[in-house]
Structure 1
Amino acid sequence: MKQVQPFSINIPQNILDELQVRLKHTRLPDEKEGSGWEYGANLAYMKDLMHYWEHSYNWREQEAAMNKFSHFTADVKGTQVHFIHEKGKGPNPIPLILTHGWPDSFYRFLKIIPMLTDPEKYGGRAEDSFDVIIPSVPGFGFSEKIALSQGPVADLWASLMTETLGYDRFMAAGGDLGTGVVKELANRYPQHVTAIHLTDVGYPNGTENWAEMSPAEQQFGQYIQHWWMTEGAYNMIQSTKPQTIAYALTDSPSGLAAWFIEKFYTWSACKDNLDSHFSKDELLTNIMIYWVTGTAGSAARMYLEVARSVYMNPAAQPAKRVEVPTAFASFPGDAPVPREWAERQVNLQRHTIMPEGGHFSAWEKPTLYANDIRAFAQSFR
């Protein structure tokens, strides 16, 4: 492996001490009585979360748990990239690179690492194992604090897999912003990407020919348009003026938590009970990855880089169809994507309608997610 250095998460104590001071002096807003989550992050939940963060949460325990995995950093095409690299225990494991989105991180995939590297331990077959590579997208967590659009990230991943780690052929999977990265990776490097697995396939963005879309696709487009108008404020801010929100996210623990927590509530399949779906330790550890690295601002800037390359580009064309074999796992808590839209976007070889789960599927329903990847990969072994 070229230019690879072992990495261990070890945050200086002064950063944690300074956070405790901020948590102690948290100032929360008021709330319209009885509004629940309708106006955004619920005040009662946030009070409970902030109290837990100050008095019960233990970063060092979570840090030690994350360090049980094999972390590395490498200079990839001039960009410092953090990644986990866990080798499969079975014969001839398939290399698999997993790409996270926002507001999650590499932490999204930790539950599925043992399921993919050692499937026999989880009721699968040893010959279905993977070498699992989970990088932090630049601008997120422990990778270099630089914002890139999805195409340049795909270029980094191709170099990481082939030049740095020495894999000539590999699979790729992801969701959210990671979907765009994985699709770009497949389109730019089909000679290296065997197949891809997605939990969304991209959304109508106004560059499509509406007359060519089926009634189901047109209905889906209207759904997405309504979603942007009712749920898309975060995207408009981060796609236009990310620096402005970066001040609050970098300076205020409660501001950062609220900005993220509302998305986990809205986008997951928690059914109005976030605590039943994610533990506070899990949610706070993901938030802490942004806090201790100061990357909330650079992560938000990725949205502007993506917007400039797609929405703000006068020469923008509809997204290129992926011809690499693709699996699409559709979770009920996520957008209701019609099959014909998926087939328009990708070379759909497997379409799984999941019984439960939402946008953070690998985190929410790790067994369902890992099993679907394993089943899809069997035809490529």
Structure 2
Amino acid sequence: MADLSLSGAVESFALCVGDDVLGQLRQRLDGVRWPDREPVADWSQGVPLARMRTLVDYWKSGYDWRRCERRLNDLGQFRVRIDGIDIHFLHVRSPHEGAMPLILTHGWPGSVVEFLKCVDPLTDPLRHGGKAEDAFHLVIPSLPGFGFSGKPPETGWSIQRIARAWHILMQVLGYERYAAQGGDWGAAVTTAMGALRPTGLLGIHLNLPFVIPDPLPAEPNEQEAAMLEALAYYSRWQSGYSTLQASRPQTLGYLLADSPVGQAAWIYEKFYEWSDCDGDPANIFTADELLDNIMLYWLTNTGATSARLYWESFHGAFSATDLHLPVACSIFPRDIYKAPKSWAEKCMHNLVYWNELDRGGHFAAFEQPHIFAQEVRQAFRTMR
């Protein structure tokens, strides 16, 4: 595994967004120019105008960014420079001796906010119906170009490079043996870590495993056919965002950098589309939770830089990868697709845990934090 460079020591990082920045946001929200109302009675053309107005009204009059800022600062935020990029991360140590170090990686349009409700159940399981021996020390980084991590000034920050950077991060923190977990792009990075298999990586857990074989079977079974059908639906109705981000992230960036409502809508739609919310994100997320996540894109002006990960790695990142270290998978029913175990067994040669859940979607840790925490505990029990 090629080495990346480390510059400097780990430094504490405290958020304190200026009042002027928040004031400028309010001015932009006050001056938004709205599109015409959609000619349909659902979300089939995107976020309905009435729903977007409701979210923005709350953003202006009821939302408190300082609450989220305090929460992040209280957990413990840090930065370290790896290969020329400042990597922002949360580092929360368990009170229990022998806790397993675990690096959790978010995806798009997520952030470290996705994992906030899981921190306590994972670091202190005794207080949440678990056992002390299932505890984790958590490292939760922001991907390069996302949130409060640095923005790569050059091309080349692929998922493989991020995977190597994550290994360095765990080494710098003194974790000689650790595990890794992720969904969405986090699953891609975690899979890349599994393929690299650096010394000390005990195993991985995925909540969106990439298992499509090449070539496809001529006669797929029922589960395999269902996954292919879900991917066809994604390609026709849900993939426009990825085509833009993988091909023209800079052009898209002008829109997202200039309009907070545009940035919010770009993200809000996916929390409707991919979560297990019975057709309404408000059934599973509070407005505060949605806006906390959106703010990590708006405040940092990372609409374009987060999209560049698609340009770097989208093509080929989500195909089946041979993995020989222990792998655990949790399949949530309302994710983009439900991976069939028959395909997983062809590329995951040491599949130690597989569970298909009754609830939850793409943003598993955000939607169902206690179920997610239980899955992570169970997944890594045999790897400790």
TM-score by length of 1: 0.93
Distance in 2, matches of 1:222 and 1:364, equals 24
SS of 2:27's partner is helix
Question: Is it true that 1:179 corresponds to 2:182 in the alignment?
Answer: no
Instruction: Tell me what 1:328 maps to.
Output: 329
Match of 2:271 among 242, 260, 264: 264
Task: Compute the displacement of 1:55 (Å).
Answer: 1.2
Task: Compute the displacement of 1:190 (Å).
Answer: 4.3
SS of 2:137's partner is strand
Instruction: Tell me what 2:283 maps to.
Output: 276
Q: How many residues align?
A: 372
**Counterpart AA for 1:153:** I
Distance in 2, matches of 1:195 and 1:15, equals 42
**Counterpart AA for 2:135:** S
Determine if contact 1:210/1:218 at 8 Å carries over to the other structure: no
Equivalent residues in 2 for 1:121-270 (5 A)?
121-146=127-152, 148-162=157-171, 164-202=172-210, 204=212, 208-211=214-217, 214-215=220-221, 216-270=223-277
Instruction: Tell me what 1:314 maps to.
Output: none
Determine if contact 1:86/1:117 at 8 Å carries over to the other structure: yes
Task: Compute the displacement of 1:213 (Å).
Answer: 7.3
Q: Residues 219 and 64 from structure 1, CA distance in 2 versus in 1: closer, same or farther, beyond 3 angstroms?
A: closer
Distance in 2, matches of 1:13 and 1:34, equals 39
Determine if contact 1:22/1:253 at 8 Å carries over to the other structure: yes
SS of 1:39's partner is coil
Instruction: Tell me what 1:348 maps to.
Output: 351
SS of 2:245's partner is helix
Task: Compute the displacement of 1:371 (Å).
Answer: 0.7
Identity of aligned residues (%): 37
**Counterpart AA for 1:159:** I
Instruction: Tell me what 1:339 maps to.
Output: 341
Moved more, 216-225 or 336-345: 216-225
Distance in 2, matches of 1:299 and 1:181, equals 14
Determine if contact 1:120/1:126 at 8 Å carries over to the other structure: yes
Distance in 2, matches of 1:161 and 1:212, equals 43
Match of 2:376 among 359, 364, 373: 373
Task: Compute the displacement of 1:214 (Å).
Answer: 3.9
Distance in 2, matches of 1:220 and 1:332, equals 11
Task: Compute the displacement of 1:337 (Å).
Answer: 1.5
Task: Compute the displacement of 1:318 (Å).
Answer: 5.5
SS of 1:173's partner is strand
Determine if contact 2:102/2:181 at 8 Å carries over to the other structure: yes
Determine if contact 1:71/1:83 at 8 Å carries over to the other structure: yes
Q: Residues 158 and 243 from structure 1, CA distance in 2 versus in 1: closer, same or farther, beyond 3 angstroms?
A: same
Q: Deviations over 1:149-206 (max 9, x none)?
A: 21110010011111x11211110001001111001111112432111111011264xx
Structure 2 unaligned residues grouped into runs of 5+: 1-5
Instruction: Tell me what 1:303 maps to.
Output: 310
Structure 1 unaligned residues grouped into runs of 5+: 312-316
Distance in 2, matches of 1:355 and 1:224, equals 20
**Counterpart AA for 1:257:** A
Distance in 2, matches of 1:155 and 1:190, equals 8
Distance in 2, matches of 1:372 and 1:79, equals 32
Task: Compute the displacement of 1:222 (Å).
Answer: 4.1
Q: Deviations over 1:303-322 (max 9, x none)?
A: 000036x38xxxxx964311
